[in-house]
Chain A
Amino acid sequence: MASNSQAPKKEILLPSERKMDFKERWAYTRHEMKRNWLCYAMLAPFMLLFLVFTVIPVLMSLPIGFTSFDMAHFPKWIGFQNFYTLFLEDDVFVIAIRTTIIFAIFTGPLSYFLSFLLAWLINELHPALKTLFTLVFYAPSMAGNIYFVWQLIFSGDTYGYANAALMELGITNTAIQWLTDANYVLPCVIIVQLWLSMGAGFLALRAGFQGIDKSMYEAGAIEGIKNRWQELIYITIPSMGPQLMFAAVQQIVTAFTADFVGRQLAGFPSTDYKVHTIMTHAFDYGYIRYEMGYASAICFVLFIVMLVCNALIRRLLSKYMD
């Protein structure tokens, strides 16, 4: 016993924590891979399809931004030429950046907080009402392409619901060209974007709320939590980190790739490029002018911006993640 206590304390390290040279590390990795073969086997079905239908096409599209590619000929490597043109010569791109930022603020942070707030408020209600309200708020995302209804609402003639209502109330006596007047088109499209924004992120947050163990709230009440705000901040949000991150990623994607709704409602090109986003710009060059190389360069820039946003949000939410 005595001799044992006098012996110098030897630190025991796991193999993964020990410093190893390259050869040893490689051997260790191979050993670990063999030991975990079942993990790879379980990943294989999904990862194989993911590789073929997503990863390979993504890797193939990355270098296209550095080429001149018109779909008819093989892509020609032109280095950073596309990016020079984009940032130094393309005036419409500057407008597109401005529009994208406006859209991103509304469909990004604003609708993120809104979907969290709504998911939370719904969670406070009676179970039967929970299902009803979740359905009501998610319904627009489920209805898919019923943009035509918004076209009816914002229709520029007197048959449009918005115009008819305003004229009935005596607010205006002429029909407003909601979707072609430069003053109105942006707010109109933003309204529709917000209407559509309670999508995957919102539903994931609802699932997150439903997954929280109810006993946590009882424990919280004993620990001295006084109101629902405290409950939200000290119990709910910390136990929803992963869902918050998922919703954030969804929101980044929808915020920066806003394009389709604007094109559907305001037409293309929209009046004064009012709803011309970066994605619309890419669509313009890709599918109308067939300058795929240039369109890819535009998307590449957007991709980098989204990666940066993702990293920032992950940093912000890191304390709630495992």
Chain B
Amino acid sequence: MLKSKKNLKPSELAALQEAENAAALEALRKRREKEHAKMEKSKGTNKRVGKSWKNDIGIFTVLTLLGLFMIFPIYLAIVNSIKPVQEIFIMPPKLYAMEPTLENFSDLFKVANNSWVPFSRNVFNSVFVTVVATVFHILFACTAAFVLSKCKFPGYKFLNEMIVVAMLFTSTVLYIMQYMVMAKLGMINTYWALILPIIATPMDLYLMRQSMSQLPDAMIEAAKIDGAGLIRICWGIVMPNSKPALMTIIIFQFQAAWNATGGLFIYNEALKTMPTVVQQIAAAGLARQGAIAASAVVLMLPPLVIFILAQRNVMETMAHSGIKD
């Protein structure tokens, strides 16, 4: 075999080696799959200390009682949104709707469609701002968080400190100063005024930095030795191992962007987002409890969907968890 190998041309030798490599890889893959299947099978039987049915039922009861308190006002909002007008002022107030109706919702959209700007425009604004702000924020903040948590370069301590201090700073004049900066940059009444400040929020970066700092340095060293660049390490290795934090900041960011109203920075009707318009209508246009409740329910739905999708994703990824030290 060896002799024949020696007699081969370089190109044939290369082909042979490739075939051998492929076979080895295939074998490795099969073994991995087997191990994985074994792991999957044993997952359910994995016993933890002190786990018992009695304990679990106790925890479940406590959480359910507290959960009822948390969910009750939201339940009331939903019930109020499907109550017809005549039912809202019944004495004593009912905890359910006797004749549920979607009147409040249809009224809301009817008024919305009759305003100066078509309502679809406001919906588009909201979707556009939310998608752009979330995507770019995640991209920028995660890259920055990786550098701040895993790279040592002059100034990294100062920058880390600055993020926290900025989070603690609240001032009544901050808003005015932001307005002045934006006016200087000519951003008032543009999409920039809605999107850029949301991208620049430090909270998610801080959370990401915190959870990335838990990943072992050895993992990054190993990747560096294997020749991966910083960007590759960040998005190929560190990010997949920070899934829970990533999903959490997606929830935060989506919510922040979705609820963004732009405040003083936006006064052009055509640029107003859905929350601004819906709240305006609920407060002034219809001015009824039912309409206000309906607007709250409508605005709550998209973040709710994102929340459920994100949480499900965390559950799936954490089933076969990554490397930690």
Q: In the complex, what residues of B have CB within 8 A of residue A279's CB?
A: 170
Contact of A145 with B181 in the complex, beta carbons under 8 Å: no
- Which of B49, B62, B181 touches A228 (beta carbons < 8 Å)? B49
- Which of A124, A226, A282 touches B172 (beta carbons < 8 Å)? A282
Contact of A55 with B168 in the complex, beta carbons under 8 Å: no
A60 within 8 A of B: yes
Known: A134-B311, A204-B245, A296-B173. 15 other contacts (CB 8 A): A42-B230, A53-B182, A54-B202, A64-B173, A126-B56, A143-B300, A149-B80, A203-B251, A206-B248, A230-B49, A239-B324, A246-B206, A250-B203, A279-B170, A286-B173
- The total of chain A residues at the interface (CB under 8 A) is 114
Identity of the chain B residue whose Cβ is nearest the Cβ of A204 in the assembled complex:
B207
**A-B residue pairs, 7 tightest by C-beta:** A242-B210, A286-B172, A36-B153, A57-B177, A164-B92, A49-B200, A207-B244
A245 and B207 CA atoms in complex are apart in Å by 9
Contact of A39 with B230 in the complex, beta carbons under 8 Å: yes
B24 within 8 A of A: no
- Which of A129, A144, A216 touches B300 (beta carbons < 8 Å)? A144
Task: Flag the segment in B7-15, B119-127, B140-148 that touches A.
Answer: B140-148
A320 CB, nearest partner CB in chain B, Å:
11
Contacts known (A149-B77, A158-B91, A242-B214); A121 close to B173, Cβ less than 8 A: no
A60 and B207 CA atoms in complex are apart in Å by 26
Contact of B147 with A299 in the complex, beta carbons under 8 Å: no
Contact of A211 with B151 in the complex, beta carbons under 8 Å: no
Q: Indicate the member of A71, A131, A195, A204 with the most B CB atoms within 10 Å.
A: A204
Q: In the complex, what residues of B have CB within 8 A of residue A127's CB?
A: 315
B25 within 8 A of A: no
Instruction: Mark contacts of A267-307 with chain B using CB atoms, 8 A cut-off: 1 yes-contact digit, 0 otherwise.
Output: 00000000000010011011100001001100110110011
A228 and B54 CA atoms in complex are apart in Å by 14
Contact of B289 with A152 in the complex, beta carbons under 8 Å: yes
Contact of B251 with A42 in the complex, beta carbons under 8 Å: no
B contact residues vs A (CB 8 Å cutoff): 46, 48-51, 55-56, 59-60, 62-63, 66-67, 69-71, 73-74, 76-77, 80, 89, 91-93, 139-141, 143-144, 146-148, 151, 153-154, 156, 159, 162-174, 176-178, 180-182, 185, 196-197, 199-203, 205-207, 210-211, 213-214, 229-231, 234, 242, 244-245, 247-248, 251-252, 255, 259, 279, 289, 292-293, 296, 299-300, 303-304, 307-308, 311-312, 314-315, 318, 321-322, 324
Contact of B173 with A39 in the complex, beta carbons under 8 Å: no
Instruction: Mark contacts of A310-322 with chain B using CB atoms, 8 A cut-off: 1 yes-contact digit, 0 otherwise.
Output: 1000000000011
A204 CB, nearest partner CB in chain B, Å:
5
Q: In the complex, what residues of B have CB within 8 A of residue A130's CB?
A: 315
Q: In the complex, what residues of A have CB within 8 A of residue B318's CB?
A: 210-211
A184 and B256 CA atoms in complex are apart in Å by 33
A140 CB, nearest partner CB in chain B, Å:
6
Instruction: Mark contacts of A18-55 with chain B using CB atoms, 8 A cut-off: 1 yes-contact digit, 0 otherwise.
Output: 00000000000100110010111011011101101111
Contact of B67 with A136 in the complex, beta carbons under 8 Å: yes
Instruction: Mark contacts of A190-226 with chain B using CB atoms, 8 A cut-off: 1 yes-contact digit, 0 otherwise.
Output: 0000010010100110111011111011101100011
B55 CB, nearest partner CB in chain A, Å:
8
Identity of the chain A residue whose Cβ is nearest the Cβ of B199 in the assembled complex:
A49
A269 CB, nearest partner CB in chain B, Å:
17
Contact of A29 with B177 in the complex, beta carbons under 8 Å: no
The secondary-structure label for the interface of chain B is helix
6 residue pairs A–B, Cβ–Cβ below 8 Å: A43-B147, A54-B200, A136-B71, A200-B252, A213-B321, A245-B210
A186 within 8 A of B: no
Contact of B50 with A228 in the complex, beta carbons under 8 Å: yes
Contacts known (A118-B63, A149-B77); A142 close to B70, Cβ less than 8 A: no
The secondary-structure label for the interface of chain A is helix
A56 within 8 A of B: yes
Q: In the complex, what residues of B have CB within 8 A of residue A307's CB?
A: 165, 168
Identity of the chain B residue whose Cβ is nearest the Cβ of A138 in the assembled complex:
B307
Identity of the chain A residue whose Cβ is nearest the Cβ of B49 in the assembled complex:
A221
A322 and B210 CA atoms in complex are apart in Å by 10
A214 and B50 CA atoms in complex are apart in Å by 15
A167 within 8 A of B: yes
A135 within 8 A of B: yes
A52 and B185 CA atoms in complex are apart in Å by 10
A153 within 8 A of B: yes
Contact of A53 with B66 in the complex, beta carbons under 8 Å: no
Contact of B70 with A144 in the complex, beta carbons under 8 Å: no
A146 and B304 CA atoms in complex are apart in Å by 15
Q: In the complex, what residues of A have CB within 8 A of residue B55's CB?
A: 124, 228
Interface positions, chain A 139-161, Cβ under 8 Å from B, are 139-140, 142-146, 148-150, 152-153, 158-161
A46 and B300 CA atoms in complex are apart in Å by 28
